[in-house]
Structure 1
Amino acid sequence: MANTLSSVPNFFVLVCYFFLLTPLLFDVPLQVVASSRHYHRRHLGRRSSLALAPTAATVANSSSANHTTGHHHRWIGPVGRRLITVNINGSADFKSVQDAVDSVPPNNRKNITIRISAGFYIEKVVVPATKPFITFQGEGRDVTVIEWHDRASDRGANGQQLRTYRTASVTVYANYFTARNISFKNTAPAPMPGMKGWQAVAFRISGDKAYFSGCGFYGAQDTLCDDAGRHYFKECYIEGSIDFIFGNGRSMYRDCELHSIATRFGSIAAHDRKSPDEKTGFAFVGCKVTGSGALYVGRAMGQYSRIVYSYTYFDNLVAHGGWDDWDHTGNKTKTVFFGVYKCWGPGAAAVGGVSWARELDYDTAHPFLAKSFVNGRHWIAPYDA
C-alpha cells in the first residue's frame, strides 16, 4: 500500500507533462487541448466570445485538415484573432466595412467574422478573391445596412461608364463568403420600363459556395447580381423592379420574400445559362412573391436559361403568360427550362400561361427542391439548410 501511494505524485507529474508536451509533439493548439472535452460534448469547434455559428471555412476545412494533420481537432485552426468589429460611431476596430475587409491578410485560411454594428454604412465594399472564409454578421437587416448609389450610366474614375456589374454597392469575388442579418442597398431611383443606363446593383456575388441568412437586398433594376458560383439564400428579402435577381449562378432561394416595386411592368429573375452543359440555374423553394406591377416571374437572359419555382406563393401581380423570352427574336422558347411545382396563390395560374413553361411532376422537380442542387451537403451545415 505504501508503494502504491508513493506512486500517485509521479502519476500526476506524467499527466502534467502529457498536456504540456502534446501541443509541441502533435502541432495541436493549446486551446484545442484545453477544450477537447467541451468539443466532444457539443460537437462544435472552438467558439468565439460571441458564440457565433460555424462559418463556411469550418465545414470546408474539416475533412481535408483531418486527413493531413493526423489530429481530428486540427481543423479548428491556430491561435489567432477571428473577430473584427465595425461600428460607424468608432467604438470598434474599424468605422468602415471596407477597412475591416482590408485588414484580413491575403490567402486567408481562417474563419473571419466581421461583426457590423447597427448603422448605415454609405460606402462601396469589395471582398477580393484572395480573402475567402469571411462572414459579415449584422445586428438585423433593418438596422445594419451597407449602401451606395451607382448606376450603369455613371462614370468611374477612368471616365468610362461603369456598366451594370461595376455598380454593385457590395461585390464579393471570394469563395466561402457568408452574410447574416444584414442588408445591402443601391439607392439609385427606380427607372421606368425602357429607360437605359439605370441598372443599379446592390450586391454582386461572384464567388463559389456563398451562404446568406436573414439578409435584405434592396434596389430597383438588377438588385441582386447572382453572377457565378453556388449560393444558398435562406429567409432573405429581395426587392426590386426589373430583373432584380439576375446572372448565371447556381443558386437556391429558400423561404425568401421576392418583393416587386414595379410601377408598370417588371420581372423577378433573369438567368443567363448559355449552354445545356452548364449546371447553373435558379431554384426558388417555399418563397413568397409580393408587391406591385404586372410581373414576369422569369426571363430568358441566356439561350438555356433555367428557373424553377416550387411551393411558392404568388400574389395577384403576375403578368399574362408569366414568362418572357427576353428578346423575342430567337428560339429560346425551345431551349429554356422554366418550371413550376405545386405553387399557389391568386397569381399562380398565370405562371403557367405559356406553352414553353412546364408544370413539373415530382421526379422532374426533385433535383430543384433540396440543397443538393448546389452540392450543399459538402459546405452547408445541416442546421443552416
Structure 2
Amino acid sequence: MSRSARRVLLQSDDDGGEEGGDGMILTVAVDGSGNFTSIGEAIEFAPDNSEYRTIVVVRAGVYAENVEIPRNKPNIVLIGDGADVTIVTGNRSVADGWTTFRSATLAVSGDGFLARDITIQNTAGPEKHQAVALRMNADLVAMYRCAISGYQDTLYAHSFRQFYRECDISGTVDFIFGNAAAVFQACDIITRRPLPGQFTVVTAQSRDSPDQDTGISIHNCSIIPADDMAPSGKAIRSYLGRPWRAYSRTVVMESWIDGFVDPAGWTQWSAAEDDRKTLYYAEFDNYGPGSGTDSRVAWPGFHVMDYDEAYNFTVSYFITGDEWLASTSFPYEDGI
C-alpha cells in the first residue's frame, strides 16, 4: 500500500484524488467537490482485479443508491467521515418484489473489502419483511466503526471470513444471518421493535453440514434493546438466535446481555423441525441481567463453554485473523 493510501486508511481525513505507487485514492462527495458524486461511479472506475487497495473516501452526505461491489473489484476500501454523517441508504425489500439476496443496499462480492466510519441502512421497515442493508459474500472482509441498520435480515453474512469491530448493528428478526465464518467484536447489537405479535431474534446462522467451518461468534459485544423496545403493555419476546439450517452454529462470549432477552436464550425455527441435536449454540463468561444460563434451553446442542472451547471461536482461531487483520489497521483482540 502506498504511503498516502495508508495515511487515509489510518486517519480518514485526507483529500482524495491521489494515485499512489501501488493503489488509488478516489473521493466521492454529493456536493460535487470530489471525483464522483455517487459511490457506484467510483466502484465502476476502480481497476478490475487489482492486487492493491483502492481507497474510496466518501464525504459526509446521504447517498441514496444500491451499491454492488462485484467479484472482479477486490480490495475496495470505503472510508466515511463518520457513521453519523456518511450514510448509504436504500429501501429494497421482498415485499416490493426483490429477493432477499438482491435487496441489499450494499452488496459485496469482492474479496479484501474494508469499510470504516460509514452507515449502511435499509429503511424499508418491519412491515416489508426481509430487507437487507448489507450483504457480504467475500473473503477477508472487515468493517470498523460502522453502523448497519435495518429491520428483518439487516446483515447477510453470506459466506467466507468476516470481521466486524465497534459496529452498531440493529434490526428485528434474524438480523444477523447467513453462513459466513464471522466474528463480531466490541459491537453494539441492537434489537428494534418488531411488528405487533412478532418476537425478535438476533441471529439465524445457516450452517448445513458438520464439515463446514462456519458460524457466528459474538465476542465482547453488548446485546441491547433500542429505545423503541421500552416496556409496554405486552412484553416482546427476544432471543439470541434460531437455526436457519440444521447445523446452525452461534456462540456468544464475554458479552453484555441485557435483561430483555428471554431466559431461554434461544428458540427453534419452527416447532416441526427438530435440529436441537445437530445445532451448536454456546455461551461463555457473559454478564448482564440476561446472561444467566440456568433457564436456558435444555437442548443437546446448547453448551456452556469452558475456556478451551471458547478459544475455538476467537479471531485468531476461527477466522485466522492474525494472518490478515493487521494489514487493515483495524484494532482486534486475537484471543480471549
Correspondence for 1:152 among 84, 87, 94: 94
Rate the CA distance shift 1:259–1:351 in 2: closer, same or farther, 3 A: farther
CA contact (8 A) 2:50 2:73 kept: yes
Asked if residue 234 in structure 1 is aligned to residue 176 in structure 2, the reply is: no
Instruction: Report what 1:336 is aligned to.
Output: 279
Shift of 1:262: 2.5
Q: Structure 2: which amino acid aligns with 1:187?
A: T
**C-alpha distance in 1 between matches for 2:295 and 2:36:** 50
**C-alpha distance in 2 between matches for 1:172 and 1:236:** 17
CA contact (8 A) 1:210 1:231 kept: yes
Which aligned pairs between 1:300-311 and structure 2 lie closer than 5 A? 300-311=243-254
Asked if residue 51 in structure 1 is aligned to residue 7 in structure 2, the reply is: yes
Q: Structure 2: which amino acid aligns with 1:307?
A: T
CA contact (8 A) 1:234 1:255 kept: yes
Shift of 1:110: 1.8
Q: Structure 1: which amino acid aligns with 2:91?
A: H
Instruction: Report what 2:206 is aligned to.
Output: 272
SS in 1 for 2:43: helix
Deviates more, 1:170-179 or 1:256-265: 256-265
Rate the CA distance shift 1:80–1:175 in 2: closer, same or farther, 3 A: closer
Rate the CA distance shift 1:351–1:122 in 2: closer, same or farther, 3 A: farther
CA contact (8 A) 1:146 1:185 kept: yes
Shift of 1:234: 0.4
**C-alpha distance in 2 between matches for 1:135 and 1:223:** 21
**C-alpha distance in 2 between matches for 1:338 and 1:345:** 19
Instruction: Report what 2:298 is aligned to.
Output: 355
Shift of 1:353: 1.2
Gapped runs of 5+ residues in structure 1? Answer: 1-44, 55-76, 155-160, 192-196
Deviation per residue, 1:17-48 (Å, 9 max, x gap): xxxxxxxxxxxxxxxxxxxxxxxxxxxx5311
Q: TM-score, normalised by structure 1?
A: 0.77
Asked if residue 178 in structure 1 is aligned to residue 134 in structure 2, the reply is: no
SS in 2 for 1:262: coil
CA contact (8 A) 2:23 2:52 kept: no
Shift of 1:78: 7.7
Correspondence for 1:97 among 39, 46, 51: 39
Instruction: Report what 1:367 is aligned to.
Output: 312
Instruction: Report what 1:42 is aligned to.
Output: none
Deviation per residue, 1:296-323 (Å, 9 max, x gap): 1011011100000000101111124111
Q: TM-score, normalised by structure 2?
A: 0.88
Correspondence for 1:111 among 37, 53, 58: 53
Correspondence for 2:135 among 185, 204, 209: 204
Deviation per residue, 1:71-115 (Å, 9 max, x gap): xxxxxx983651000000100000000000000122122210000
**C-alpha distance in 2 between matches for 1:49 and 1:215:** 20
Q: How many residues align?
A: 308
Asked if residue 286 in structure 1 is aligned to residue 242 in structure 2, the reply is: no
Q: Structure 2: which amino acid aligns with 1:239?
A: S
Correspondence for 1:162 among 69, 80, 98: 98
Rate the CA distance shift 1:301–1:81 in 2: closer, same or farther, 3 A: closer
Deviation per residue, 1:111-147 (Å, 9 max, x gap): 1000000011000000000010110000111110100
**C-alpha distance in 1 between matches for 2:190 and 2:102:** 24
SS in 2 for 1:279: coil
**C-alpha distance in 2 between matches for 1:163 and 1:86:** 29
**C-alpha distance in 1 between matches for 2:147 and 2:120:** 6
Correspondence for 1:378 among 313, 323, 334: 323
**C-alpha distance in 2 between matches for 1:245 and 1:78:** 36
Q: Structure 2: which amino acid aligns with 1:339?
A: A
Q: Structure 2: which amino acid aligns with 1:91?
A: S
Rate the CA distance shift 1:208–1:200 in 2: closer, same or farther, 3 A: same
Rate the CA distance shift 1:352–1:214 in 2: closer, same or farther, 3 A: farther
Q: CA RMSD in A?
A: 1.8
**C-alpha distance in 1 between matches for 2:311 and 2:295:** 19
Question: Greater helix share, 1 or 2?
Answer: 1
Shift of 1:358: 1.2
Deviation per residue, 1:142-165 (Å, 9 max, x gap): 1101000011121xxxxxx31211
Identity, in percent, stands at 32
CA contact (8 A) 2:125 2:151 kept: yes
**C-alpha distance in 2 between matches for 1:338 and 1:126:** 33
Asked if residue 126 in structure 1 is aligned to residue 82 in structure 2, the reply is: no
**C-alpha distance in 1 between matches for 2:74 and 2:165:** 20
Rate the CA distance shift 1:163–1:347 in 2: closer, same or farther, 3 A: same
SS in 1 for 2:42: helix
Gapped runs of 5+ residues in structure 2? Answer: 11-18, 230-235
CA contact (8 A) 2:152 2:172 kept: yes
Q: Structure 2: which amino acid aligns with 1:164?
A: T
**C-alpha distance in 1 between matches for 2:316 and 2:92:** 34
**C-alpha distance in 2 between matches for 1:282 and 1:110:** 29
